[in-house]
Amino acid sequence: MMLEQGETVPAVSVKDADGLDFTLDRYRGKPLVVYFYPKADTPGCTSEAKDFTELAGDFAAAAVPVVGISKDKPAKLKKFADKYGLTVTLASDEPGTACEAFGTWVEKSLYGRNYMGIARATFLIGADGTVLRVWPKVKVKGHAAEVLGAVQAL
C-alpha cells in the first residue's frame, strides 16, 4: 500500500549521486518533496526531472527541498544530472527499501506482460515527517508546477 496523507514517513536510507548514504530524516524540521520515478534518462523521467529543476529556485524560496528517487545506480544518476543540468537531489534506492516503504514498488503491465516497477508518485512531507499530500499515478506534464502550488500554499 502506498503511504497516505497523515502517515509518518519511514526512516529509509538511500544514496546520493555520489554514492553517499543519507536518510530523509536529514530534512526533518522543514517540509520536503519526494518524488519516485521509474528510470533515469527515459523521456518521462527526464521531463519530470527537468520540470522540477526549472522550478528549483521557487522550491528553494519556499525552503522546501526536492528529492527524486529511483532504483538507478548512483553513477547513472550522476551522469543523468550532468547530462541535463539537473539541480534537484537525485537518490538511488537500488535495494528498493524506500520504494517498498513508500508503497511505490508495484506490479505493472505493459503489452500483456506483468512486471514489478516503480509507480511514478510524489509525496509532500511536513516538517514533522508526516505525509501532507500524495500524488499517485503522476502525469508528468504540469506536475512540478502543481506540486509547487501545494508547497506555496503551506
What residues are annotated to the active site?
A: 45
Cell 524540521 locates to 29
Cell 512486471 locates to 115
**CA distance linking residue 144 with residue 124, whole number of Å:** 12
Phi, psi at residue 14, to the nearest 5°? -135, 175
